[in-house]
Structure formats: structure tokens, C-alpha cells
Amino acid sequence: MFPAKYRQAVCDEQVDEVLREVCLEIEKRYEIKFVEIGVDKDHMHFLVQSVPTYSVTKLVKIIKSLTAKEVFRRCPHVKQKLWGGEFWSDGYFTSTVGKHGDEGMIAKYLKNQGKEYLKLHRDEQLTLF
């Protein structure tokens, strides 16, 4: 989700921790469960569980808007490095669990995407909303 130059130049352990904390707060207010949160050299991964009434677009909008707002508020150095730019890139990749895949397959995909994957959060307990 980050352009490569942003992750390398902008994100640090403080930003990673803010992202993790904000995602876990999102769980309390929305019907979204963060099963795994991970960062890599130039992007992030979120493995989420949600209700079918939330479209993928709505999920992405909630996650991107709330995390960016809090990163800029709690880590002002990020906004300075971006020169007032956007925290997230416009695009995203999504895959869903269904007939041809399961959560384990998606988790394996996430781990194999990058070279420097760092797991910030993992919750094995799936929930019913």
C-alpha cells in the first residue's frame, strides 16, 4: 500500500506501532477484526475478517482514512517527510476467503510477498459479529 520510497523513507518503529494501535482501536468501533497486521520494506498487509455488509471498498476506506489521520497526528515527522503528501497510495490488492481459498492460503501469500516481512500483530481467534 505504500510506494516503496515512502516505506523506506517515512515509516519507522513509531509509525508501525501507531498503525498497530489504530487498527486494534478500529476493531472496537467497526465490525472489522484484524487477524494479522504486517509490514514489509515497501508495503503493509492487513488480514481482516468482517461482515458481508461491508464492501471491500468500505473496508479499505475505513482503514486507510483512520490510520493516515492518526499517523499524521501522532507522528508529525511523517507529514514533514511527505511534504504534505498522502500517506497511502491510491491502489490496493484484495483477496477473499471462499470456494477457492482459505485464511491459511492468504496468510501464506502475505508472508511470501516481501523480503523483510515483520508481523506487528496476529490474533488466531476469529470472531462472530
* Helix and strand element counts for the chain (H, E): 5, 3
Indicate whether 65 belongs to any domain. yes
Tell me the pLDDT of the chain averaged across its residues: 80
Indicate whether 29 belongs to any domain. yes
Indicate whether 68 belongs to any domain. yes
CATH of the domain at 35: 3.30.70.1290
Does residue 34 or residue 118 have the better pLDDT? 34
Indicate whether 111 belongs to any domain. yes
Count of domains forming the chain: 1
Give the predicted TM-score (pTM) of the model.
0.74
Query: By residue range, what is the domain housing residue 77?
Result: 4-122
- Residue 33: the pLDDT is 93
Using the structure block, give the residue that is written with the C-alpha cell 504486517.
38
Indicate whether 81 belongs to any domain. yes
Indicate whether 129 belongs to any domain. no
Backbone angles phi, psi at 82, to 5 degrees: -85, -5
pLDDT in tens, 63-78: 999 999 999 999 988 8
